Structure 1
Amino acid sequence: MCLIVFAWQQHPAMPLLMAANRDEFHERPASAAAYWEDTPQVLAGRDLQAGGTWLGVSRSGRFAAITNIRDPAAGEHSARRSRGELTHNFLAGGQSPEDYLTGITRVIEDYQGFNLLVGDRGSLWYLHGSATERSAPRSLVPGVYGLSNAALDVPWPKVNRARKQLKSKLRGFEAPTHHELRDCLSDRSLADIQALQEQNLSGEMARQLSAQFIVTERYGTRCCTTLRQHENGQLEFQEQRFDPRGQLLGIDAFELDTLKTI
């Protein structure tokens, strides 16, 4: 389970504002956000088991993020390739977002279900795809969006809360700070059972995963990444990392190719 909330072209000085929680098993190895030695233009955290990433940017201003699709009824079909390469390949490449996603539609069967966001300085695109359900690449119009492990803007309780929180922070003249963006995804309370049932979510596990910020012994929110893209292309990127108790382990902040460690 993961959760992303973002504002696209909703602030005159910052076309993209985003906060994203990565939820994963604590035992799965990963490295903190950094420029990759084998792909120096890519800045992202790295899944050390499969080699890809869940979210990243490039020195040229490209952006990519992915979430898995939650579909217990369908099960997980055997996949030849890791979903984490979908983000990395876009960041490392030069295709337009539209052309890249169009190419992915021809090999969707190679991957387990996913939601993929890719963009550059002028556009942001979305693709929802799985072996049983797929859509055409979609250019996103200006707005405030929420994405978890169903399709874009499916009204899961934590998605609704995140969008509402981000919209409230956009009402002032100043763009939301990184701290304010993280606040949109920091709620650790569980959703109401009835609200979950309205979205066909049931069972104790679904309720445990209904929090924006998940804390369980084996699985939970591993990091929170925030992005602020300026009109001139400058990109601010911050990553907070957490232990299984939900305690802060560290935070790194980047501005394009300049690293600041806080």
Structure 2
Amino acid sequence: MCILFIAVKQHPDLPLIIAANRDEFYQRPTTPSGFWNEYPSILAGKDRQAGGTWMGVTRGGKIAALTNVREPQRVLDNAPSRGELTVNYLTEDVSTSDYLQCCQSSRQHYNGYNLLFGEWHNLHVYNNRSDTLTVLKPGFYALSNASIDMHWPKQRRGVKGLQAACQLPADHIVDALLTVLQDDHQAPEEALPDTGIPKDWERLLSSIFITTPDYGTRCSTILTVDDQQHISWYEQTYQNGHPSSPPRTFQFAIG
């Protein structure tokens, strides 16, 4: 279902930091991040089952990332994949305002989602259930599986870790954020959200890093943009809670 931690203009050398986990069933076929053959300007992982992605960036500095809204009582069985929303934004020559209109006009067709999208210096979060747009002004943000103004325990833990990381030199950011993203601390029962799923699953999903027999965190991604508008991308993939391959790293100038 994914979680994102975002710092906008909170580090002296990195005006944008995004740290994200993708949570998914282990059996869902996935391609690790890379530049796509069919769209050479896009850097992203790929969901091979539906063809979309959970997070990506273009060489021109457009960013899109997705989290699902957890609402089992409102699941549409035949809804299109939400991963196409990120791909469509990254591949189309469309303004933020025009893409917002597209999302609004189609919002009832999809299961619940939060879509982070925009140019790297002007990001927004759209929630299709509330039909609301949040502009990410300078500050810290955590986006999980409800609206952006919710503050679940794992969101608070992650933001605290992100705030601490922003006190470190830029070359220490990745290691610090990996520690945040690999935090498997579960919330106490009295602090668990009530999203309509059984309490044992609420507990399992209450950590930043999730491990269950069939479902859990599949990758951690860290994206930074520096003052010279260079993008750095770091991805660590996992299987059953353990690193499954060496990290993948990419650096390029926005242009």
Normalised-by-shorter TM-score class: over 0.9
91 and 149 in structure 1: CA distance in 2 versus 1, 3 angstrom threshold:
same
Where has structure 1 moved over 4 Å in runs of 4 or more? 172-176, 197-202
Q: Give the distance between the partners of 2:220 and 2:182, measured in 1 at CA.
A: 9
Q: 1:208-227, aligned counterparts within 5 Å?
A: 208-227=204-223
Q: Verify the 8 A CA contact 1:221 1:246 in the aligned structure 2.
A: no
Q: Verify the 8 A CA contact 1:98 1:137 in the aligned structure 2.
A: no
Q: Give the distance between the partners of 2:147 and 2:119, measured in 1 at CA.
A: 21
246 and 75 in structure 1: CA distance in 2 versus 1, 3 angstrom threshold:
farther
Q: Following TM superposition, by how much is the alpha carbon of 1:198 offset from its aligned partner in structure 2, in angstroms?
A: 7.6
Number of residue-to-residue matches in the alignment: 253
1:184 alignment partner in structure 2: 180
1:256 aligns with 2:255: no
Q: Following TM superposition, by how much is the alpha carbon of 1:168 offset from its aligned partner in structure 2, in angstroms?
A: 1.7
2:74 alignment partner in structure 1: 75
1:246 alignment partner in structure 2: 242
2:141 alignment partner in structure 1: 145
Q: 1:103-252, aligned counterparts within 5 Å?
A: 103-129=102-128, 133-172=129-168, 174=170, 177-196=173-192, 203-252=199-248
2:35 alignment partner in structure 1: 35
Q: Give the distance between the partners of 1:246 and 1:117, measured in 2 at CA.
A: 27
Q: Following TM superposition, by how much is the alpha carbon of 1:197 offset from its aligned partner in structure 2, in angstroms?
A: 5.0
Q: Write the deviation string for residues 178-222 of structure 1: whole angstroms up to 9, x where unpaired.
A: 111222221112111111158887610110111111111100100
1:260 alignment partner in structure 2: none
Q: Following TM superposition, by how much is the alpha carbon of 1:18 offset from its aligned partner in structure 2, in angstroms?
A: 1.2
156 and 249 in structure 1: CA distance in 2 versus 1, 3 angstrom threshold:
same
Q: Verify the 8 A CA contact 1:217 1:245 in the aligned structure 2.
A: no
1:94 aligns with 2:93: yes
Q: Verify the 8 A CA contact 1:79 1:110 in the aligned structure 2.
A: no
* TM-score, normalised via structure 1 length: 0.90
Q: Give the distance between the partners of 1:197 and 1:149, measured in 2 at CA.
A: 11
Q: Write the deviation string for residues 129-169 of structure 1: whole angstroms up to 9, x where unpaired.
A: 1xxx3223232111100011111141111111001111122
Q: Answer with 98-107 or 120-129: which moved more.
A: 98-107
Q: Give the distance between the partners of 2:193 and 2:241, measured in 1 at CA.
A: 28
* TM-score, normalised via structure 2 length: 0.92
162 and 61 in structure 1: CA distance in 2 versus 1, 3 angstrom threshold:
same
Q: Give the distance between the partners of 1:247 and 1:191, measured in 2 at CA.
A: 24
Q: Following TM superposition, by how much is the alpha carbon of 1:171 offset from its aligned partner in structure 2, in angstroms?
A: 2.9
Whose helix fraction is larger, Structure 1's or Structure 2's? 2
Q: Verify the 8 A CA contact 1:18 1:227 in the aligned structure 2.
A: yes
Matched residues, percent identical? 38
Q: Give the distance between the partners of 2:116 and 2:137, measured in 1 at CA.
A: 13
Any unmatched runs of 5+ in structure 1?
A: 258-262
Q: C-alpha root-mean-square deviation of aligned residues, in Å?
A: 2.0
Q: Give the distance between the partners of 2:95 and 2:11, measured in 1 at CA.
A: 24
Q: Write the deviation string for residues 18-57 of structure 1: whole angstroms up to 9, x where unpaired.
A: 1100000000000000111111111100000000000000
Q: Give the distance between the partners of 2:7 and 2:97, measured in 1 at CA.
A: 20
42 and 173 in structure 1: CA distance in 2 versus 1, 3 angstrom threshold:
closer
Aligned to 2:178, the other structure's residue is in SS state helix
Question: Which residue identity lines up with residue 110 of structure 1 in the other structure?
Answer: H
Q: 1:23-62, aligned counterparts within 5 Å?
A: 23-62=23-62
Question: Which residue identity lines up with residue 149 of structure 1 in the other structure?
Answer: N
Aligned to 1:184, the other structure's residue is in SS state helix
Any unmatched runs of 5+ in structure 2?
A: none
